[in-house]
A and B are shown apart, each in its own frame.
Chain A
Amino acid sequence: MSLYYRIRAAWDAFFAPAHGHLFYRKLGIGIVLSAAVLVLLQAIPSRFRKITIACFTFLAGLYYVAEFFIPAHKMADGSTGNFLTPYFEFSGNFGNVISGFAIGLGVISLLGLHFRTISRFREGWGFSLALVIGFFAMTIFGLMNQYSPNKVVMPAIGHFAGATTSGDVYKVLFNGGLASLDSAMFALIGFYIISASYRAFRIRSVEASLLMLSALIVMLGQVTLGTAITNHLPITGYWSNFRLENMAAYILVQINSPAIRAVTFGLAVGLLATSLRLWLSLERNAYFDQEA
């Protein structure tokens, strides 16, 4: 058996699902190896750190680029791909692991900030207290809802109220609290649109007048009132072009869409350029001191 296949077999065996003692053994090996890699990375001299980061960035991006460019063929399981495609999920798991650690760091940072605010009675400490209480309430009742949703947290109060379970409390917190507050914030957008439009649509110049006129036509064309205004015009024929809904559609499809498409072209090209600059570590000034 060639060296490649032996390494491949060992790799597959290590990452195969495991249970019981084998699982904990593999977990321990993984933690020890990760710690060793971290220690080695910390030990790199500072003058080699930039090149190390650049190499890792390049290799990480190279997998996805190579997986795209290398031709695909029919695989043994019937799917289409190349020799890199089976490792797509595996490489994505790196990002999931980092996100998992990052969530922990984010929670520590968030709670640390607000605990400091509460302990020092800084301005707005009441809001920090509300956040901390809400955070722990949601965490505790969320976990209880997941593992024991029928656990009674408050007994029945005679005939006044039935027993309250952890699932009931979670529903109140989630549906009554989080979802309602989300909806309230979303609803505020309607009022903000009115105030922003009132400020923005002023007849100051020719361009502003054109903007206001086209906005008026498009807005009226979207509502039944606008349709009713020009309802007396025929549906077909030359005069149908002056129906408000048709004028609105013309502005949106023939004038607005090409402009949006042009902006999108520029964005796509810019995104490609920025991605290449980051992949090849050419974005120097923000993340590195000077270009090599």
Chain B
Amino acid sequence: MQHASDKWSIAIFVAILSVIIVYKIIISVYGRERWARLGIAGTTAAALVVTVYLAFILPNGWDLSAKLIVSLVLAVLAALFIARMMTGQFTGVPSIRRIPGLNAIDEAIGRATEMGRPVLMVPGITGLDIVSLQALSIFSYIAKAVASFGNRCILPTIDPALQGVAEETIRDAYQTAGRPELFDPDDIRYLSGQQFAFASGVAGIIYRERVAASFMLGSFFAESLILAENGQMAGAIQIAGGPQTTQLPFFIASCDYVLLGDEFYAASAYISRNATLLGSIVGQDYCKLLMISSALIGAICVTFLQWHFIATSNIGHAFSYFVNIFNQ
């Protein structure tokens, strides 16, 4: 290892990993007893001590390479999530603000059931990745509700690997709802691997099947407006969301409800009301708070550095150091 920063990266990574593993073992073997919590707290403290000790046996010098900064930021953010996820089981369910798009899911499914028309779920046009898996986790809840109402749901995919996972997820949802006989594997379809061929296929499904509710959750690109407008023209109630900020304006113009930004990632926690998942949402908010604070401090530093007498003083050097950390 060439630099001090490298050992910091290793130390932080090992510390977080060891805490995660010990936590999982303690929880799975001993449950959530009081003394188990003490064990977890003790392990976390020990990991911190080890991290600091490893840091202090380094040679002198504080070499802030870009890799170290990324590692530190990732480690701090991950530690915030994980800590809040772990404590989420002990502190109870935190309250989350109302998200209209998610509250409208039941309304959309109920409307489709009353009209006797199916529900369409589109998981985006990327393959099997984090975004589509998150979309599938939301669709699992939707499918359970659809199955409990005795309705039908159609899920077209652009990736054959995703189709296999989606078929099992929706089948399990129907089984959990106690209506396995209603599940039709032909409703989980691989249409095409081409973007616009997929869009035209979905548009055809919207018109032929006369869907009454359309959920477009996942990564969408140019075809987003094609899907949304066709759903609008068919009279379907539409709920959309995804990580592509460039497609949000199109969804907002065409859909009834849109999940903006990280509401998409919060959806599974919001719907399930699972304490661990909701804890991760709180952890996300802590991370955003940290980022906003860093941005504000940076803005203040840059503002004060405009004055020469501050820029040349000791405090000016400190401001400059802080700003340069994020300029690597």
Q: Give A residues with C-beta under 8 Å from B.
A: 65-66, 68-73, 98-99, 102-107, 109-110, 113, 116, 123-124, 127, 178, 181-182, 185-186, 188-189, 192-193, 195-197, 199-200, 260, 263-267, 269-278, 280, 282-287, 291-292
Contact = CB atoms under 8 A, between A and B. Distances in A.
B260 A192 contact: no
B1 A71 contact: yes
A208 B280 CA distance: 35
B199 to A, nearest CB: 6
B189 A109 contact: yes
Most B CB within 10 A of own CB, among A66, A68, A193, A277: A277
Interface in B51-85: 67, 71, 74, 77-78, 81-82, 85
Contact of A192 (B226, B264, B266, B288): B226
Contacts of A181: 196-197, 200
Given A71-B6, A110-B189, A65 B13 contact: yes
Interface residues of B, number: 80
Interface of B: 1-3, 6-7, 9-10, 13, 20, 24, 27-28, 67, 71, 74, 77-78, 81-82, 85, 127, 130-131, 133-134, 136-138, 140-141, 159-161, 163-164, 169, 186, 189-191, 194-197, 199-200, 204, 208, 222-223, 225-226, 228-229, 232, 243, 245, 248, 250, 252-254, 260-262, 264-266, 268, 272, 274, 276-277, 280-281, 283-284, 287-288, 291
Contacts of B194: 178, 182
A182 B194 CA distance: 9
24 contacts: A102-B159, A105-B163, A106-B163, A109-B189, A113-B186, A124-B208, A182-B195, A192-B254, A199-B254, A263-B260, A265-B291, A270-B266, A273-B281, A276-B82, A276-B280, A278-B133, A282-B85, A283-B137, A283-B268, A285-B137, A286-B136, A286-B140, A286-B141, A287-B137
Contact of A271 (B248, B265, B277): B265
Given A178-B194, A181-B200, A277-B277, 14 more contacts: A71-B6, A105-B164, A182-B194, A192-B229, A263-B260, A267-B261, A267-B264, A269-B77, A270-B261, A270-B264, A284-B274, A285-B268, A287-B137, A292-B27
Contacts of B288: 265-266, 269
Contacts of B243: 267, 270-271
A273 B136 contact: no
Contacts, number: 186
B261 A273 contact: no
A116 B74 CA distance: 51
B186 A274 contact: no
A105 B188 CA distance: 13
Contacts of A267: 243, 245, 261-262, 264-265
B265 A274 contact: yes
A55 B163 CA distance: 23
B9 to A, nearest CB: 5
Contacts of B191: 110
A127 B9 contact: no
B302 to A, nearest CB: 15
Given A182-B194, A283-B277, A275 B10 contact: no
Contacts of B228: 196
Given A196-B225, A200-B253, A273-B81, A71 B10 contact: yes
Contacts of B24: 280
Nearest to B262: A270
B112 to A, nearest CB: 20
Contact of B280 (A113, A277, A291, A292): A277
Nearest to A292: B28
A273 B222 contact: no
A207 to B, nearest CB: 12
A24 to B, nearest CB: 28
B253 A98 contact: no
Contacts of B190: 106, 109-110
A144 B20 CA distance: 55
A199 B287 contact: no
B244 to A, nearest CB: 9
Q: Which 10 A/B pairs are nearest by Cβ-Cβ distance?
A: A106-B160, A270-B265, A270-B262, A286-B137, A71-B6, A102-B161, A185-B196, A200-B253, A266-B262, A106-B190
B130 A275 contact: yes
A124 B163 CA distance: 22
B78 A276 contact: yes
A107 B276 contact: no
